Structure 1
């Protein structure tokens, strides 16, 4: 793997471990709730109309994306401080 790709992968790991700002913590929680609702609709033990299952799939996808993006968000000041250290 190229050095540049390794650096990006290491950077992503560090971002996921850093402190998440309060707004993105709330957004992450909302994304988890949406993902749970979507999963419940898609995996329902009863027969649901196709449109309900389709909407549930989109809600699941949206919740997953919101959660992933919110988890990698870090404060602007944190990024600037780390750049000065390097």
Structure 2
């Protein structure tokens, strides 16, 4: 199964919820990074980590499918 088919395949409910949480984390991180005021370095670092973690969680959750067959050769 290639990436395009995998992204279009049905996603389990748990991973849909996890994807939405990841999108929210990425949005919060992006908001912290794009704040129009000067923030302490610690908050800016946390914002960057939130944005990256949210993006990774969302991407992995989106590519999880509900196929019942497990095949390690593909």
Q: Would you say same fold, with TM above 0.5? A: yes
- Structure 1 segments unaligned to the other structure (5+ residues): 1-9
What is the TM-score when the length of structure 2 is the normalising length? 0.89
Following the alignment from structure 1 to structure 2, what is the Cα–Cα distance between the partners of residues 63 and 52?
A: 16
Which of 22, 25, 46 is the equivalent residue of 1:55? 46
Corresponding residue of 1:12: 3
Which of 16, 35, 42 is the equivalent residue of 2:33? 42
The secondary structure found in structure 1 opposite 2:2 is helix
Give 4+ residue runs of structure 1 displaced > 3 Å after superposition.
none
| Greater gyration radius | 1
Following the alignment from structure 2 to structure 1, what is the Cα–Cα distance between the partners of residues 67 and 57?
A: 19
Instruction: Choose between structure 1 and 2: higher helix proportion.
Output: 1
